[in-house]
Chains A and B, each alone.
Chain A
Amino acid sequence: MSETVEREVGRARARKEDAHLITGQTNWTDNIAVNGLLHLAILRSPMAHARIDRVDVSAALERPGVIAAFSGRDVAEAMGSLPCAWPVAEGTVMPDHPPIAVDEVRYAGDPVAVVVARDRYAAADALEAVEVDYTPLPTVLEIESALDENAPLVHSDKGTNRCYDYRTTDGDYAAAKARADVVLTRRYHQQRLIPSAMEPRAVVVTPLAASGEFTLYSSTQIPHVLRVLLAVTTGIPENKIRVVAPDVGGGFGSKLQVYGEEVIALVLAKRLGRPLKWTESRSEANLATHHGRSQVQDIEIAARRDGTVLGLKVSLLADMGAYLMLLSPGIPILGASMYPAIYKMGAYEFSCTGVFTNRTPIDAYRGAGRPEATFAIERIMDDLAAELGMDAIDLRRHNWIRHEEFPYTTIAGMTYDSGNYEAATDKALALFDYDKLRAEQADRIDHADTVRLGIGVSTYTEMCGLAPSRWLGEMRYAAGGWEAASIRVLPTGKVEVITGTSPHGQGHVTSWSQIAADVLGVPFEDVEVMHGDTLLAPHGMDTYGSRSLVVGGVAVHEAARKVVDKARKVAAHLLEANEADLDFADGAFSVKGSPEARKTIQEVAFATFASHDLPDGMEPSINADHVLDPETFSFPHGTHLCAVEVDTETGAVHVRSYVCVDDVGKVVNPLIVEGQLHGGIAQGIAQALYEEAVYDEEGNLLTGTLADYLVPAAPDLPEFLTDRTETPATSNPLGVKGVGEAGTIASTPAVVNAVVDALRPFGVRDIRMPCTPERIWQALQPGKEASA
């Protein structure tokens, strides 16, 4: 009898990915060096809105080492317009978006000319010699004034700054409001954020001019989607383009994009017949890599005196920035289903208006629409608790979907398959020592302590696993939401997993190895995972939206099951037994009742390779592909609790403790899950306390570097105490729910709720994010309004 192999799924495996990353044997796009490589540099608009009267690159061409230089007009015909794949509403205004501006620049950072030179220094020097004449145009910078009657137009040919109106309702909100004892109305501001992946973007294109073939390396999350859209945008046939995402240094949505620089590099490599590299500086990244959030949220909640929520009304103004990027219109709509969150209610109204402004385009940033939704509902639930004099936890408990009520279809039409809010919350409260902290808070109030304690609650859920293709179709998204996996068992018994997901820090190589090793019964070490190259992994939808495990990981699981099914036929033939009489365990088929008659999957793989003795008519392969289209979303959830100390004399906030209990369903690798939560919580805290893209009144970005834009460092963050409950998803065979964005979604409202909780005795009911010492201090000055 064989020993039972320890199951891989659930093990805290240290990552396979690490070896090359900790030794510097990396393959970042900017590392790529090929013979004759030229360097591209981009001149960007210093103005937020201006007419381009003249671009003269002739002096730049005279500079030593300069090979070529182009204005937008020089290359406009070869480049097309950058794509937007998500016109969420009928009549969505879709402005033309040339990769290099031709007639007008519409945000500070809009490209106006490019230079190609022998090295990066020569290219940067030559930019200074490009002459551009601008006529300044009036700007519209604020979301709230974009629709004013006399507002300047970002796209004058469209006649409006209104991009779209989207609306969805269920139940009769007006009636719910009429029946309510309490109606709270709030306006929250989701500040504009700069994603700040540590690796700035980079693109390398190597052309094979004679045959018109191109390899494009890019620091991207989406090599497959990018390939399709590069073909559509440039007219170069899709089957002549290979896209590679080498090592990618973080993305957080910012590399879920088809960027102008990718199109520019491809078109110019074609035109010049030479390999080209473009590498973004950080200052350039802050201007030119898309930003996130930037919404004004009006939210109204109607409730009975006992705390029962009757209805919710949400009205958003969502900043698109100057142009529509790949998913810009759809980002706030991803949140539309999530405002009701974990709560039962009878009526829901949601509307969103997208507006153009003269600022960097907005698109996906960690969580993409869902953090905004969770923030607003969790903030107003805390406010409602305060209004009703209820404990914040008790109010949530009174309204949430009870464990025995799953599966449950929310008022927003989402069917949550499973969850246990009670268990996660009870565990979190115990870890946090909630009652003791509440006692300390009361004590500090009694003693008029200058340092106050605030306790913030966030009981979130998330919609993971983007996405059922039919749903995407109904939402007017241009593509599907499936994911592909292939598994090859090699003649020597080693296994190759090919995934269409494209990791950039999430640890897919390790997790997918664990999944495949379990199904196939092979050692974890024997599995290699290939990804991020359209030649190696031709079929995929890439990595974003907490989709990789729930869609791509499950696809690996299903492909592995197909391999076992095929291998079973071969094993039955070799063992001269019926398939039905075979057991498969620990990587070997054995005949029921006579376990000595066995064939390992490796032996079957070799026998299939040799193909000397296969069942009649059988295709000589046990390899398998699977393309999985999810039937539904998954809904991880959890309870995050935050205690802050607020110094009422300085406004300084110190996060004293942070506890979270997350339920992400079945866990493949607890080490990776915990890591995802840590990083996510950090980004959420960063939004609550530190980060904001700030512009001056002329539309210049003031937070243009990491000296001004405050990505938190280690001393700015607390130790997180994380724990889990496990309520498996019922919608996929692994029971997994996804974890990529949970921390970010949950932590921002937990922290702001804690800050506001500390300040409530002073009459403060909101602090606009980021909750800086200055804003808090201002809010505490007698006679001043809280900066809501």
Chain B
Amino acid sequence: MTHISLKVDGTTYEDDVEPRLLLIHYLRDRLGLTGTPIGCDTSNCGSCTVDLDGESVKSCSLLAVQADGGEITTVQGLAQDGELSELQKAFHARHALQCGYCTPGMIMAARDLLREHPHPTPDEVRHGLEGNLCRCTGYQNIVRAVLDVSEEEVKA
């Protein structure tokens, strides 16, 4: 067992974990933070994307011990005082989700994308999200939602 300490969505946790425990299983099974789901076992689908120290990572591809000392934001930490983030609002307004399984990862990846490219072209949005699969939407409304947020920032 290895002792780890990390902050998730603003709360600090300390735990002893098996070195092999995946970060996603730590979040889901140990912390009960089930908002981030698992869609594959080869890091292709991106459903489990979270933010670790300012970068989006696929939490199925990291061990919990690798996140030791880090600060994680999941989809469950985005809304502040009940106010949805701009991306969450845009996904809702644009019907950018159907079953919603990919949505947490998609929102986290889009957040990272906009951080790096605040005003992407539609093509840049598509390429920026290529590590996240969605089976329901055909991506069109996801792209629209991300562009909406980018345009909001332009206006602001």
A706 touches B100 (CB 8 A): no
Bound form: Cα–Cα A706–B130 in Å: 13
B118 lies within 8 A of chain A by Cβ: no
Least CB distance from B57 to A in Å reads: 16
B11 lies within 8 A of chain A by Cβ: no
Residue in B45, B76, B99 whose beta carbon sits within 8 Å of that of A23 in the complex: B76
What residue of chain A has the Cβ atom nearest to residue B32's Cβ? A33
Residue in A196, A282, A680 whose beta carbon sits within 8 Å of that of B42 in the complex: A282
A13-29 CB mask vs B (1 if < 8 Å, else 0) is: 01101110111111010
B97-135 CB mask vs A (1 if < 8 Å, else 0) is: 111111110010000000000000011011101111111
- Given A506-B98, A715-B127, decide whether A121 and B18 contact each other with a Cβ distance below 8 A: yes
A112-134 CB mask vs B (1 if < 8 Å, else 0) is: 00000001110000000000000
B95 touches A14 (CB 8 A): yes
B37 touches A30 (CB 8 A): yes
A24 touches B75 (CB 8 A): yes
What residue of chain A has the Cβ atom nearest to residue B79's Cβ? A23
Least CB distance from A201 to B in Å reads: 12
Query: Using a Cβ–Cβ cut-off of 8 Å, how many residues does chain B contribute to the interface with A?
Result: 60
A714 touches B125 (CB 8 A): yes
B98 touches A717 (CB 8 A): no
B138 touches A682 (CB 8 A): yes
B135 touches A30 (CB 8 A): no
Contacts of B37 in A (CB 8 A): 26, 28, 30, 199, 249
A476 lies within 8 A of chain B by Cβ: no
Contacts of A680 in B (CB 8 A): 138
Bound form: Cα–Cα A683–B127 in Å: 19
A249 touches B91 (CB 8 A): no
- Given A22-B88, A713-B130, decide whether A505 and B98 contact each other with a Cβ distance below 8 A: yes
B45 touches A706 (CB 8 A): yes
Residue in A200, A504, A714 whose beta carbon sits within 8 Å of that of B99 in the complex: A504
Residue in B40, B107, B139 whose beta carbon sits within 8 Å of that of A705 in the complex: B40
What residue of chain B has the Cβ atom nearest to residue A283's Cβ? B41
Least CB distance from B153 to A in Å reads: 19
B5 lies within 8 A of chain A by Cβ: no
B74 lies within 8 A of chain A by Cβ: yes
B98 touches A706 (CB 8 A): no
A250 touches B98 (CB 8 A): yes
Contacts of A30 in B (CB 8 A): 28, 34, 37-38
Contacts of A197 in B (CB 8 A): 99, 101, 135
What residue of chain A has the Cβ atom nearest to residue B129's Cβ? A714
Contacts of B74 in A (CB 8 A): 24
Contacts of B123 in A (CB 8 A): 715
A719 touches B95 (CB 8 A): no
A678 touches B34 (CB 8 A): no
Bound form: Cα–Cα A197–B138 in Å: 13
Contacting residues of chain A (661-691) with chain B, CB-CB under 8 angstroms: 671-672, 674-676, 678-683
- Given A196-B135, A719-B140, decide whether A507 and B98 contact each other with a Cβ distance below 8 A: yes
B2 lies within 8 A of chain A by Cβ: no
Least CB distance from A562 to B in Å reads: 31
B35 lies within 8 A of chain A by Cβ: yes
- Given A675-B98, A675-B141, decide whether A711 and B135 contact each other with a Cβ distance below 8 A: yes
What residue of chain B has the Cβ atom nearest to residue A21's Cβ? B100
A713 touches B129 (CB 8 A): yes
Contacts of B102 in A (CB 8 A): 198
Query: Using a Cβ–Cβ cut-off of 8 Å, how many residues does chain A contribute to the interface with B?
Result: 57
Contacts of A198 in B (CB 8 A): 39, 45, 47, 99, 101-102, 133-136
A720 touches B138 (CB 8 A): yes
Bound form: Cα–Cα A672–B37 in Å: 24
A714 touches B142 (CB 8 A): yes
Q: Residue among B20, B34, B125, B132 with the most chain A CB within 10 A?
A: B34
B78 lies within 8 A of chain A by Cβ: yes
A31 lies within 8 A of chain B by Cβ: yes
Residue in A199, A248, A675 whose beta carbon sits within 8 Å of that of B137 in the complex: A675
Contacts of A674 in B (CB 8 A): 95, 141
Q: Residue among A28, A198, A506, A682 with the most chain B CB within 10 A?
A: A198
A21 touches B135 (CB 8 A): no
B100 touches A672 (CB 8 A): no
What residue of chain B has the Cβ atom nearest to residue A715's Cβ? B126
B92 lies within 8 A of chain A by Cβ: yes
Bound form: Cα–Cα A282–B130 in Å: 18
A24 touches B99 (CB 8 A): no
A679 touches B98 (CB 8 A): yes
B125 touches A252 (CB 8 A): no
Contacts of A319 in B (CB 8 A): none
B92 touches A15 (CB 8 A): yes
A430 lies within 8 A of chain B by Cβ: no
A707 lies within 8 A of chain B by Cβ: yes
Least CB distance from B4 to A in Å reads: 17
Contacts of B133 in A (CB 8 A): 198, 706, 711, 713
A713 touches B131 (CB 8 A): yes
B36 lies within 8 A of chain A by Cβ: yes
A705 touches B141 (CB 8 A): no
B41 touches A671 (CB 8 A): no
A28 touches B138 (CB 8 A): no
- Given A18-B100, A705-B42, A719-B140, decide whether A683 and B34 contact each other with a Cβ distance below 8 A: no
Contacts of B104 in A (CB 8 A): 24
Contacts of A676 in B (CB 8 A): 98
Contacts of A249 in B (CB 8 A): 37, 99-101
What residue of chain B has the Cβ atom nearest to residue A705's Cβ? B42
B100 touches A247 (CB 8 A): yes
Contacts of B107 in A (CB 8 A): 22
B141 touches A678 (CB 8 A): yes
Q: 5 A-B contacts, Cβ less than 8 Å apart? A: A17-B100, A22-B88, A24-B104, A120-B29, A198-B101
Taking Cβ atoms with an 8 Å cutoff, the residues of A that contact B are: 14-15, 17-19, 21-26, 28, 30-31, 33, 119-121, 196-200, 247-250, 252, 281-283, 504-507, 671-672, 674-676, 678-683, 705-707, 711, 713-715, 717, 719-720, 743
Taking Cβ atoms with an 8 Å cutoff, the residues of B that contact A are: 18, 20-21, 25, 28-29, 32-42, 44-45, 47, 74-76, 78-79, 84, 88, 91-93, 95, 97-104, 107, 122-123, 125-127, 129-143
Given contacts A505-B100, A715-B130, A717-B140, 18 further A-B contacts (CB under 8 A): A18-B100, A22-B84, A23-B76, A24-B74, A26-B35, A198-B99, A198-B102, A200-B39, A249-B99, A282-B42, A705-B40, A705-B42, A706-B133, A713-B139, A717-B126, A717-B138, A719-B122, A719-B140
Shortest 7 CB-CB contacts between residues of A and residues of B: A24-B35, A21-B100, A249-B101, A505-B99, A682-B138, A678-B138, A505-B98
